[in-house]
Structure 1
Amino acid sequence: MESFRKLIRGWLGKVLLVLFLTPLALVGIEGYFSGGNKADVAKTVNGQDISNKDLDAQTKGLKDQYLKMVNGDESLLNNDFIKNAALDSLIARALLVQQAEKLGISLSDGQIEQMLAQQPSFQENGKFSQPLYENYLRSVGITSSALIANLRQDHALQMLMGTFTNNALVSKVDLELIANLQTEQRNLYLASVKLDEYKQNVKVSNQEIADYYNKHQNKFKQVASVDVDYVVLTPAMLPQASQQVSAVELEEAYAAFVDQQKQNAKREVKHILITTDNRNAQEAEKLANDVYAKIKAGMTFTQAAAQYSEDDSSKAKGGVIEYTEGVFDSSFDNAVKSAKNAEITRPVKTQYGYHLIEVQRDVGEIPTFEAKKAELTEEVLKSKSANLFADTVNSLNEQVVSNDALDIISSEVKTAKIESVKGITVATTNPVLADPSVKAKIFSDDVKNGDRNVSSSIQLKDGNTVWVKVRDYHAAGVQPLAQATARVKAQLIQDKAVTAAKAKIAAMLEDFKKLPAQQVLAKYPFTFESAGMFTRSQGLKREIERAAFSVPAPKAGMWSVTTASLPDEMVVVGVAEVKKAPVDSLDPAQAQELTQLYQRMRGQQLLDDYTQYLKANAKIK
């Protein structure tokens, strides 16, 4: 039974449902066992309710995935986007399940019961264990028929999805297109046209700036940002604490060390479980007290476990369990922590029944005071320094907050300096302001609503402390024309300079379309340098890469030529040759990998299209 409880704690996503419910990538498994009522409905899909509990569970699952991508920095997440994505996935799942039912895709009760019987976690001595299965059902609050119905439903979902994802057709033409994208090589020649001389003659009027801004406002969207003053205080900035350690301080430190050793000692936990499976709670408690009295009267714990415990996995071992905190519940854990060595606890109630618990601690040999003296002295000194830093922070914090002034810190601690930074966003890499706790403050709702007071002290991950003051908050949205004017003007000057430069070489560009490359090169005093052979994503500047791979392959002896605009430079890009690797040239392993990749991509696209079709014809409210 103990091994089964361990199974339950991590089992939902790791064992049975990993084996049977692969499609639940669409939905958090918590939604499987949620109840809910009409007042708790997030959406209704063709009359089927999606509860807020399901939505919260799915949102949390997606959020946890995104948090891993941003190293736990929640300030970088768009919570509205995540919640909407979670709801979309739940709606998609509901639609696909409903369609599977309409199509009659299903497994029989017998087939699913056979799956359950073959699940190792429900087996004991190689055979299906009804008690293990029933204990699992009780632990998650679901009936056997409901679990079987859920498994049948999800297998139907898996089969319907597999129809698209596993059977997408891939032709040789498809593979050639992908192979070309991955392996195509282009022989490039580049010529540079400096724009400085063209820009000198460009004039831009205020009306042109306003017109461009009004027409291209999407280019001037900005994320929220703040202008911030801050002061960092580190322990190294403070005078050293007293280097003297008294005998009393060392004795107290040693006593604390001994207590900690006892707490951390290896322990053997035994229990006797009296369940309420075949009796009511009062009867179970009475029996547990009777067993407790028998042990006190002389019966050994091992004898009592063998005779009375209803935990089949431990009773034959004298009640010994592989204890991990959280396996039962907090009542059990608290009893283990507080139990004296070799003491039998009075009956402890948990969701499983009543437990008698015995804890044997093997403290081992504890180092003597003299052996630990040097180490304890160093620890006490560190503690003194930490206390001095904490006291200083507390004292400064009171003054800073009450006076709303950062300069109090720099006046008290001469090495502390006020730093000022403008335009900080949530994506900042500033080593201080990028701390999640700091970003939570400077982008808080209070700041958005006008709070410009100095913050209370904020402890950083490295142990230092910072105070921050937001001087100005710039809301997300379109940058005002006044702020965008310089950028607009620079863009207009760039565009006009490129247009002038193109006009000057227009005749040459036209000739490249009609004449062999060597004739064009001989006709114009324009220098092209060989850049070499390139595939996509091989280190070219993005603008040049886009230009180079946007033109068609040239005819023999000719070049395909276009231009790319860079800051202060226009690059003329000539493609002299295009080499494509035919699918037949790929080795079998590469061809197979390419086929599977495209099949997965196309299958997922087909599934998405099908889901959108179902959604367009569904009643969702």
Structure 2
Amino acid sequence: MEKMRKFLQSWPGRLVLVCTLVPMAFLGVQGTFGTSISPNELIKVGDQSVTVSAYQAELNTARSNLLQTVDASLIDERTLGDEVLQSMISRALLQNQTQFLGMTVSDEAITRLLQQEPAFQSNGQFSNDLFAQYLQHNGLTKDMLFQDFRTQLSLRQLTAGVLGTVIYPENQVKRLLDLQLEAREVWVHRYAWQDFADQVSVSDAEIDSYYQKNQDTLVRPDTVDLAYIELNPQTLKVEAPSAEEIQAQYQSYLSERGISDGRELAQILLSGDDAKARADAIKAKLDAGESFEVLAKQSDDPSGEQGGFIGAFNPAVFGDDAGKVTQALASLGVGDVSAPVQTSFGYQIFKVVKQGDAPSAASLNDELTQRAIEHKRQVAFNDVIVKINDLAANGMGITDIAQQVQLEPKSIKAYPKTNNSTALPQPAVIAAAFDEFAVEDQSVSANITLNDKTVWVQPSNYQAAKPLSLQEASAQIKALLTKQKASELALSAAKSAATEVAAKQGAGLMTPKANFGIVTRHSTSLSPKERASLFLHKSEGNDVWAVATDDGASVIVGAPVASQSSSQLNPAERLSAARMIRDNVGQDQLMDYVQYLRDTNEVIINESALNAQPH
């Protein structure tokens, strides 16, 4: 249905009665309390339900989309699953509301839309054959397709109605645009709290007081003792590649770039029991200067009648012998003849008739050698992964596996489930370390692929989360209070520095090292709190101020604010920006409406089915 959804999005609201939607969208909500849910349903809202299989399909799609941009180890499966669940609940609520409000699209309207779709037209006319092929290819019936369209268009009607109520005055749009266009040159001096830490002290009484007030938040998370091994492909040593392996990379290089070898060949093919002897005799005559074309008439291939010409060189023709033939031709120029090569066809002698325009293997030798090494290393890497996975599946522990594959076993004591800042903080590793079955069996995980390496983990000594005692929390509290006090000293020093140079409009602080150039509300070179203070101070001259930050404090000197008015934008830029602002406001309003539906409808979730899903 993805194709259909894409071309549905291209229809500019034809036959959709948006003008009737604004009052309808806020007419009211139907209560759905007292409904039940079946085992194969995951979500139920009124008459709308989401099946377990639909949830799994949506989750798989979301995961696949994420994997296109992020490493698998960074995906938190529980968070992803919850986001998909909440999205599907919102959709079910909106679908239920469309039914209550009587929003529907007739078969006639859908038929007219389909007839206008280019994908189903042939010679400018709607094609029943193309339409039937689409249904068959996607395993759909006409009724199923129409129902899906009806649901999608009804949802679009409702959401368009909600979004269409957005009223954001032109003067407010202009004000927001003007704010976004402000900029100024700044100089920043930062005071790190660590530089003031040795000036503060934290008493036992302060630690005790903080503990008594915040005892509920001072909790030691679930932990395990984690044994692990890691494998980096770059650490694997491989032998130097052979000439055949380098030639294979040469062919791969040409293929990847769509470059044809371009060489044209002639051959003399000898077959039968005496093929080798005959080939050696002919090669001796060729070395003595006799004509290749004349001797080609002795070939056992019909090409001999045309001087042995067989056209462009295609390694695929030679199957498993391709590397051998390629190697035999590697150093030959136009007119050169190869030694006899034994192939599945017999013994072949080749002559290069025409040289190709592709770069020679010799000219790419360094790159091809490196490619061949990396290929061998990747093959070896994959072999080790398979071996370790097999050993783990057979119940072997990390220490014994490490010995088998000559890797160093490593460990992390009290590896935490939350607030993990260890050497392995990735969500995928945490999920494997605290897998219910792995914790119970103390088994070794399957391989976990990280950015630069692959790891295997084995948990033991599971400790459930529990409140920290005063003694256990003391070090944590002391570090927190030390940072608080040191940050206060940093801010005090920053304020003093700002006051000292304020009358001189920042003179003495405007050094090249402190200059951050022209910055805006979106400049990433400033911290969030520095950015937030950027335009709170505006005068005709330079402004100087101090601001508390997460790392301590900063003194900022800001040159006069340069403000480009939104009226200076061309009409297209202004219209685009205004639409973006209104769309954002509309999305907020739609989220509020969905929350309203959540508060006034019963949403049933099949918890047992949800808990059965893999995480």
TM-score normalised by L of structure 1: 0.56
Sequence identity percentage: 24
Which of the numbers 597, 604, 607 marks the counterpart of 2:590? 607
SS of residue in 2 equivalent to 1:606: helix
Distance in 2 between residues matched to 1:571 and 1:618, nearest whole Å: 50
1:549-571 CA-partner distances (Å, limit 9, x unpaired): 3x63334458463332465x643
Distance in 2 between residues matched to 1:554 and 1:547, nearest whole Å: 13
For residue 606 of structure 1, report the CA deviation from its aligned partner: 1.9
Distance in 1 between residues matched to 2:579 and 2:547, nearest whole Å: 37
* 1:502 to 1:538, Cα distance in 2 relative to 1, 3 A: closer
2:547 corresponds to 1:563 = yes
For residue 106 of structure 1, report the CA deviation from its aligned partner: 4.1
Distance in 2 between residues matched to 1:391 and 1:102, nearest whole Å: 56
Aligned to 1:372: 324
2:67 corresponds to 1:67 = yes
2:600 corresponds to 1:617 = yes
Aligned to 1:545: 530
Aligned to 1:19: 7
For residue 113 of structure 1, report the CA deviation from its aligned partner: 1.5
Which of the numbers 538, 550, 561 marks the counterpart of 1:554? 538
1:617 corresponds to which letter in structure 2? T
Aligned to 2:20: none
1:601 corresponds to which letter in structure 2? N
Aligned to 1:152: 150
2:5 corresponds to which letter in structure 1? L
SS of residue in 2 equivalent to 1:366: helix
1:562 corresponds to which letter in structure 2? A
CA contact (8 A) 2:448 2:456 kept: no
CA contact (8 A) 2:229 2:398 kept: no
Bigger shift: residues 227-236 or 370-379: 370-379
Aligned to 2:169: 171
Gapped runs of 5+ residues in structure 2?
A: 12-35, 243-314, 328-341, 344-371, 605-615
1:561 corresponds to which letter in structure 2? W
For residue 38 of structure 1, report the CA deviation from its aligned partner: 4.2
* Pairwise CA RMSD: 5.7
Distance in 1 between residues matched to 2:407 and 2:543, nearest whole Å: 63
Q: Where in structure 2 are the equivalents of 1:143-222 lying within 5 Å? A: 143-165=141-163, 168-188=166-186, 190=188, 199-213=197-211, 215=213
CA contact (8 A) 2:47 2:96 kept: no
TM-score normalised by L of structure 2: 0.57
1:348-403 CA-partner distances (Å, limit 9, x unpaired): xxxxxxxxxxxxxxx98435859738989999xx89x979977995899599966x
* 1:372 to 1:130, Cα distance in 2 relative to 1, 3 A: same
For residue 424 of structure 1, report the CA deviation from its aligned partner: 8.2
Which of the numbers 574, 577, 580 marks the counterpart of 1:597? 580
* 1:69 to 1:177, Cα distance in 2 relative to 1, 3 A: farther
Which of the numbers 485, 502, 509 marks the counterpart of 1:496? 485
Distance in 2 between residues matched to 1:573 and 1:462, nearest whole Å: 38
For residue 603 of structure 1, report the CA deviation from its aligned partner: 1.8
2:437 corresponds to 1:446 = yes
Distance in 1 between residues matched to 2:143 and 2:47, nearest whole Å: 22
For residue 597 of structure 1, report the CA deviation from its aligned partner: 1.3
Gapped runs of 5+ residues in structure 1?
A: 1-11, 24-35, 245-362
1:71-95 CA-partner distances (Å, limit 9, x unpaired): 344x72233x334433333333333
For residue 505 of structure 1, report the CA deviation from its aligned partner: 8.0
For residue 139 of structure 1, report the CA deviation from its aligned partner: 6.5
Q: Where in structure 2 are the equivalents of 1:265-284 lying within 5 Å? A: none
For residue 584 of structure 1, report the CA deviation from its aligned partner: 1.0
For residue 612 of structure 1, report the CA deviation from its aligned partner: 2.2
1:366 corresponds to which letter in structure 2? F
2:74 corresponds to 1:57 = no
CA contact (8 A) 1:66 1:77 kept: no
Distance in 1 between residues matched to 2:316 and 2:187, nearest whole Å: 77
Distance in 2 between residues matched to 1:577 and 1:420, nearest whole Å: 56
Aligned to 1:417: 408
Distance in 1 between residues matched to 2:135 and 2:154, nearest whole Å: 22
Aligned to 1:358: none
Aligned to 2:399: 406
* 1:519 to 1:161, Cα distance in 2 relative to 1, 3 A: same
For residue 112 of structure 1, report the CA deviation from its aligned partner: 1.6
1:596 corresponds to which letter in structure 2? R
Aligned to 2:89: 91
SS of residue in 2 equivalent to 1:577: coil
Distance in 1 between residues matched to 2:541 and 2:491, nearest whole Å: 24
For residue 204 of structure 1, report the CA deviation from its aligned partner: 0.7
1:240-292 CA-partner distances (Å, limit 9, x unpaired): 99x99xxxxxxxxxxxxxxxxxxxxxxxxxxxxxxxxxxxxxxxxxxxxxxxx
Distance in 2 between residues matched to 1:51 and 1:400, nearest whole Å: 37
* 1:570 to 1:445, Cα distance in 2 relative to 1, 3 A: same
SS of residue in 2 equivalent to 1:406: helix
